[in-house]
Amino acid sequence: MRNGLTIVEVMISLVILGSCLAVISEMGRTAFRNAKESRDFTQAELLAENILAKVQLGIIEMKPTTDVPITNRNNYNDTIEDTGIINNGDSNDVLWLYSIDVNNVGETENLIELGITVTQNPARISNPVRCYLVRWLIVESE
């Protein structure tokens, strides 16, 4: 009768341990990536709601625009984390951009579709998060 483990048994247990550690490591990496994506999408939703409210209040003009930087440098003291221009103020340093779409709905003149798109700057992020909100508004005839 023998006592102890053979080298083959030790090697097999190390292979099993290594495989388990690789799987656990990949699960952690995936969880971290999903948490970051969820955080970014939530922030994009908050920014889109903020822009939408400003358009409805008349702070931002209700006209079609494309890729306007969202910055903390305005008169309303918005302090949303991770927005604004960093470093030297280069356009590649802007973290978030917004666009506004204004369309008439069907044959009516008083009903418009207001669409707000907020996206991470594609110049900074390879797979940017995008949020699109739509509101139908009744506008007064002039």
| d(C-alpha 72, C-alpha 89), whole Å | 12
Tens-place pLDDT, residues 28-60: 999 999 999 999 999 999 999 999 999 989 899
Pick the closest to residue 57 from 49, 65, 68 (CA basis): 49
Q: How far is CA 5 from the centre of its chain?
A: 53
Tens-place pLDDT, residues 76-110: 444 444 444 444 555 556 789 999 999 888 777 78
| d(C-alpha 76, C-alpha 107), whole Å | 37
Helix (H, G, I), strand (E, B) or coil at 125: coil
Q: Where are the domains of the chain?
A: 7-138
Helix (H, G, I), strand (E, B) or coil at 140: coil
* DSSP track, 41-83: HHHHHHHHHHHHHHHHHTSS--S-EEEEEP-S-STT----TT-
Provide the pLDDT for residue 32.
95
Structure tokens that stand for 11 in this block: 């090697």
